[in-house]
């Protein structure tokens, strides 16, 4: 009896010690994993923003294909609700609701897993040069429950493989999906045209101010020399590397000239076959249209034959609504 009493005392002391230690363990567990997807942001965003699409890439939906699924609320975005009920212990019962959806940027959700603590989860979509970085995260609040806090120490290791698998499948699906942009890409034949231009390097922050300054200088030169503008201003993108653009900004003119200016040059662009897309929207989002073009080119096995360029059809000084600004984007192809 004495030995048993000693064992019980020691066991009790261990339990008390573990409870005390649990107060110093993290009360919140955060897990986040990321992947880079070569597609416009709208494609993976739409896959996540509509729960009906999760069957194609969610790791849990694939564990038990026979689980009971219920969809409530909105079809997608804010207010969309997904509930599941599975006999598989690795899936269980729960629900998730989209609480905030910012187009092609952020999706926030509230999760409930049976009797476990509620969690917040979400996806961030970070625009990159010719791709999008998708980050999937989950934050679980453990409260003061000692057992939950000890379980939280292993939670990250348990979730990471599922997140990695889900993101990998999301990438595979997104990179084979047709482009989600709302405008057509057409093949056309560009006629030879002449233009005056200034070539320089710039960043995403300086390209706008430089464009305004350079086009102003070119227009001033045209005015002094009696030259007429033949079509809207253009920007030719010769190279892009690590947020540095090598661009040529110019204005097409109606005749050939000899020019001796040190900064402004005359160029005759030989026409040919090209793809063209009409983009409506602010200039800072035009990168999505270029991603759409590259996706189309890869999907159809085409080959780019020279530098791409943008033609600014709408004058922002006369049209204040940036959603109505039309920019034509050209990619020369073989």
- Residue 232: count other Cβ atoms within 10 Å of its Cβ: 16
H-helix or E-strand containing 151?
helix 146-174
- This prediction has a pTM of 0.54
Closest CA to 86 of 74, 94, 77: 94
Euclidean distance between CA atoms 99 and 97, whole angstroms:
6
Task: Give the pLDDT score at 10.
Answer: 43
With vertex at residue 60, the alpha carbon angle to CA 55 and CA 66, rounded to the nearest 5 degrees, is 65
Q: Hey, what CATH class is 185-332 in? A: alpha beta
Task: Give the pLDDT score at 240.
Answer: 82
Cβ 256 vs Cβ 268: under 8 Å: yes
Taking the CA of residue 55 as centre, how many other CA atoms within 13 Å lie in the half-sphere pointing to its CB?
A: 10
Q: Hey, what CATH class is 25-174 in? A: alpha beta
Euclidean distance between CA atoms 41 and 58, whole angstroms:
18
Are 25-174 and 185-332 equal in CATH topology? Answer: no
Report the DSSP beta bridge partners of residue 196. 251, 266
| Residue 310 CA to its chain's centroid (Å) | 22
Task: Give the pLDDT score at 265.
Answer: 93
Euclidean distance between CA atoms 103 and 123, whole angstroms:
12
What is the block-wise mean pLDDT of the chain (334 residues), using blocks of 10 residues?
47 44 52 88 91 89 82 91 86 89 91 74 86 88 51 60 91 79 81 92 88 91 91 92 86 89 89 91 82 81 92 90 89 94
Euclidean distance between CA atoms 135 and 163, whole angstroms:
10
Taking the CA of residue 128 as centre, how many other CA atoms within 13 Å lie in the half-sphere pointing to its CB?
A: 14
Task: Give the pLDDT score at 145.
Answer: 56
In the chain, domain spans:
25-174, 185-332
Task: Give the pLDDT score at 100.
Answer: 94
Task: Give the pLDDT score at 178.
Answer: 64
C-alpha to C-alpha distances, 135 to 28, 54, 171, 302, nearest whole angstrom: 19, 16, 12, 31
């Amino acid at each position: 009896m004495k030995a048993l009493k000693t064992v019980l005392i020691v066991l009790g002391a261990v339990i008390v010690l573990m409870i005390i230690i649990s107060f110093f363990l993290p009360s919140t567990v955060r897990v986040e994993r990321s992947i880079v997807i070569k597609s416009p942001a709208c494609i993976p965003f739409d896959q996540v923003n509509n729960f009906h699409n999760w069957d194609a890439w969610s790791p849990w939906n694939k564990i038990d294909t026979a689980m009971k699924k219920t969809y409530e609320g909105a079809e997608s975005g804010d207010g969309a609700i997904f509930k599941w009920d599975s006999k598989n212990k690795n899936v269980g019962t729960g629900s998730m609701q989209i609480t905030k959806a910012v187009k092609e940027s952020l999706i926030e959700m509230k999760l409930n897993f049976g009797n476990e603590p509620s969690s917040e989860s979400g996806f961030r979509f970070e625009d990159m040069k010719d791709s999008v970085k998708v980050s999937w995260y989950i934050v679980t609040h453990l409260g003061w429950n000692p057992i939950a806090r000890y379980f939280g120490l292993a939670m990250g290791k348990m979730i990471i493989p599922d997140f990695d698998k889900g993101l990998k499948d999301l990438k595979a699906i997104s990179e084979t999906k047709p482009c989600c942009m709302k405008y057509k890409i057409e093949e056309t034949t560009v006629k030879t045209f002449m233009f005056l231009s200034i070539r320089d390097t710039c960043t995403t922050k300086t390209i706008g101010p430089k464009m305004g300054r350079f086009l102003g200088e070119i227009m001033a030169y045209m005015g002094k020399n009696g030259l007429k503008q033949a079509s809207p201003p253009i920007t030719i993108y010769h190279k892009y590397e690590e947020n540095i653009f090598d661009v040529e900004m110019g204005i097409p003119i109606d005749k050939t000239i000899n020019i001796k200016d040190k900064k402004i040059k005359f160029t005759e662009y030989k026409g040919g076959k090209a793809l063209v897309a009409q983009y409506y929207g602010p200039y800072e989002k035009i990168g999505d249209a270029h991603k759409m073009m590259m996706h189309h080119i890869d999907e159809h096995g085409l080959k780019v034959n020279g530098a791409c360029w943008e033609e600014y059809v709408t004058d922002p000084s006369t049209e204040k609504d940036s959603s109505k600004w039309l920019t034509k984007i050209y990619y020369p192809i073989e």
